[in-house]
Structure 1
Amino acid sequence: MNFKGVIPAITTPFHEDLSVDFDFLKSHIQWMLEKGCTGITALGSLGESATLTFDEKVQILKACVEAAGDKPVVAGIAALSTREAVQLAQEAERVGCQGLMVLPPYVYSSSWEEMKFHVSSVIGATSLDCMLYNNPIAYKTDFLPEEMAELCADHPNLVAVKESSADVRRVTAIRALLQDRLTILVGVDDLLVEGVAAGATGWIAGLVNAFPEESVRLYDLSMQGQWEEARKIYEWFLPLLRLDTVLKFVQYIKFVQEKVGMGSARVRPPRLELTPEEAEYTRGLLQTALENRPVVGA
């Protein structure tokens, strides 16, 4: 599994009755891959995984694998119980996913001993390459570099970490302790350039769901060290990228998708769509972005 490049954390599209829109899901995946993304991550936070049934998750993974062709699909593995997380990991391998993104358990956050048991159970349940998802802001569990080292010692198939602490110093701390043992991926949109400068080589991106070309170009320029060219796109993109780091990030990103003609703003409760004031604010950001959209083609 190659965890480098721009790997969208894909949103889950819904019909009006809030059933999963598998046809759009497939076309959305193909569109982003055609624009240069290197794979797909499904069932993450942005994919509203917590509102999906187990069977829906499996069907979504099947659809992703079918749509992605020879590009890899990473399955987000999160559940209330360790048993269900292990079962989902095994189903992900069965349907053809090439990697796992392993989250701490929903709701329950406790000692390192318990968190280690949980993620170790998932990582050890398949032969797939795994990426640990560290998001202490959302999940109240902070995997420290020293704890990542423990997991690496036990699991050769733990090969990457999605670092979403929003602290760029974590990238340098992980690299200092583990060298190149783990591929580090930026997990928050508005830290991409800083994260790459510190040593990250992948991006699990959110606004890529609406702007894949700009996302891929920004990543490529950053990886090439073309900081001045990257800065021009980054400064243009940042007002939208910051939508990935707020409470209603799912609603904001889906709203932007709808307004650029690549999705629907529908979300499953308990999430509700944006208020009129929030929608108007986002519409203004998007209008400014579209009026000043950079040319990123070759």
Structure 2
Amino acid sequence: MSSPIDLSGVFPAMCTPFDDDQRIDFETLQTDAQRLEAAGVDGLVPVGSTGESATLSHDEHVQVVEAVIEAVDDVPVIAGTGSNNTREALELSERAADAGADGLLLISPYYNKPEQRGLIEHYRTIADAVDLPQIVYNVPSRTGRNIEPDTAVELASHENIAGFKAASGDLGQIGEIAERTTDEDFAVVSGDDALTVPTISVGGTGTISVAANIEPERTCAMVGAALDGDYERARNLHHELGPLFRGLFVETNPIPVKEAMQIRGYGPARMRSPLSRLANEYREDLEAVLADLERDTTEVADAAERDR
């Protein structure tokens, strides 16, 4: 049985920065990991969808995981190792485990659209072979197949399957999975920033977040308030972050978040083809959203200073 991992809190789905020659910029990657750790996040998730895993080689996958592990001191690193090929997902998972990852995030097989029995076999094959906590990732908008609640509940009984990343947009389904796995050592985490607070309200434990790359402190405060049952504060922070949540998904993730990273000075906006830079029509709006959040932060800090 794998060592347990606490899936409560905020886990940024990290971007993978590229240099002018489309090579991974490891220095920026490690600086970013340290920035997020210092901001108080509860773990890091490199080489997922936000990390452009689809355009990384297997060796690059492992190199990114190793670099993030090396950069941080005291937060778990959960490596994205999913594929639509079970053998390939297993190989990536084994290599991430050998690299020292604390857990795995496995997107459900995409394009080939397996039946529910095929999804169960896929996840069990990897969980049987790799002794690390594993998170089943349901994002039907990318994969073309929903992981049904019965499937999620069956997978939750496996000792190495520790959680479920919910990005279906179906709060009823998310709540049902949380309800039916209450007696399991199993966490349901939001995979949709706009549904993080609602997900926690029906039994979720946190979020694997895109927005936390840009606003880690606010995201941590929002999730912490919700987990503490302070839904008034959580709701207020959700509304503060709402324009960012929407702005980061005006085009395919991670196009907008990489643009936001560049605007904030955290990393380059370069993408690997076939993804492209954010359309000019959206950049001005994104800049305005980020400026408003910075202004709010400054005003809060100034008020706190006056109160001292």
Q: TM-score, normalised by structure 1?
A: 0.94
User: Hey, what does 2:99 align to over in structure 1?
Assistant: 95
Do the aligned residues in 1 keep the contact of 2:110 with 2:142 (CA within 8 Å)? no
- Which amino acid counterpart does residue 170 of structure 2 have in structure 1? D
Counterpart-to-counterpart distance in 1, 2:183 and 2:245 = 28
RMSD after superposition: 1.8
1:25-64 equivalences in 2 (<5 Å): 25-64=29-68
Change (3 A) 1:6 1:107: same
Counterpart-to-counterpart distance in 1, 2:57 and 2:179 = 40
Do the aligned residues in 2 keep the contact of 1:79 with 1:85 (CA within 8 Å)? yes
User: Hey, what does 1:21 align to over in structure 2?
Assistant: 25
Is 1:171 the counterpart of 2:174? The answer is yes
User: Hey, what does 2:256 align to over in structure 1?
Assistant: 252
User: Hey, what does 2:232 align to over in structure 1?
Assistant: 228
Tell me by how many angstroms 1:116 deviates.
2.0
- Which amino acid counterpart does residue 2 of structure 1 have in structure 2? D
Tell me by how many angstroms 1:152 deviates.
2.7
Q: Secondary structure at the match of 2:129?
A: coil
Tell me by how many angstroms 1:167 deviates.
1.9
Counterpart-to-counterpart distance in 2, 1:68 and 1:125 = 27
Q: Write the deviation string for residues 108-133 of structure 1: whole angstroms up to 9, x where unpaired.
A: 21212222222222222210011110
Q: Write the deviation string for residues 75-132 of structure 1: whole angstroms up to 9, x where unpaired.
A: 1112242111101100111010010111122322121222222222222221001111
Alignment gaps of 5+ in structure 2: none
Counterpart-to-counterpart distance in 1, 2:125 and 2:247 = 33
Tell me by how many angstroms 1:149 deviates.
2.0
Q: Secondary structure at the match of 1:83?
A: helix
Q: Which moved more, 1:282-291 or 1:139-148?
A: 282-291
Identify which of 273, 295, 298 aligns with 2:300. 295
Counterpart-to-counterpart distance in 2, 1:176 and 1:227 = 20
Q: TM-score, normalised by structure 2?
A: 0.91
Is 1:214 the counterpart of 2:218? The answer is yes
- Which amino acid counterpart does residue 172 of structure 1 have in structure 2? G
Q: Write the deviation string for residues 122-150 of structure 1: whole angstroms up to 9, x where unpaired.
A: 22221001111011122112111111122
- Which amino acid counterpart does residue 203 of structure 1 have in structure 2? T
Counterpart-to-counterpart distance in 2, 1:282 and 1:147 = 38
Q: Write the deviation string for residues 234-288 of structure 1: whole angstroms up to 9, x where unpaired.
A: 2111010123445422111111111111111111110000121122232232233
Q: Secondary structure at the match of 2:145?
A: coil
Tell me by how many angstroms 1:32 deviates.
0.6
Q: Secondary structure at the match of 1:36?
A: coil
User: Hey, what does 2:164 align to over in structure 1?
Assistant: 161
Counterpart-to-counterpart distance in 1, 2:230 and 2:52 = 35
Counterpart-to-counterpart distance in 2, 1:70 and 1:285 = 31
- Which amino acid counterpart does residue 160 of structure 1 have in structure 2? G
Counterpart-to-counterpart distance in 1, 2:266 and 2:256 = 14
Counterpart-to-counterpart distance in 1, 2:73 and 2:141 = 34
Counterpart-to-counterpart distance in 1, 2:25 and 2:300 = 32
Counterpart-to-counterpart distance in 2, 1:231 and 1:295 = 18
Counterpart-to-counterpart distance in 2, 1:51 and 1:245 = 20
Tell me by how many angstroms 1:295 deviates.
3.3
Tell me by how many angstroms 1:40 deviates.
0.6
Counterpart-to-counterpart distance in 1, 2:257 and 2:245 = 9
Tell me by how many angstroms 1:69 deviates.
2.6
Do the aligned residues in 2 keep the contact of 1:189 with 1:242 (CA within 8 Å)? no
Counterpart-to-counterpart distance in 2, 1:48 and 1:135 = 15
Q: Write the deviation string for residues 169-205 of structure 1: whole angstroms up to 9, x where unpaired.
A: 2232012222142211011011111111111112101
User: Hey, what does 2:113 align to over in structure 1?
Assistant: 109
Counterpart-to-counterpart distance in 2, 1:295 and 1:205 = 24
Q: Which moved more, 1:18-27 or 1:137-146?
A: 137-146
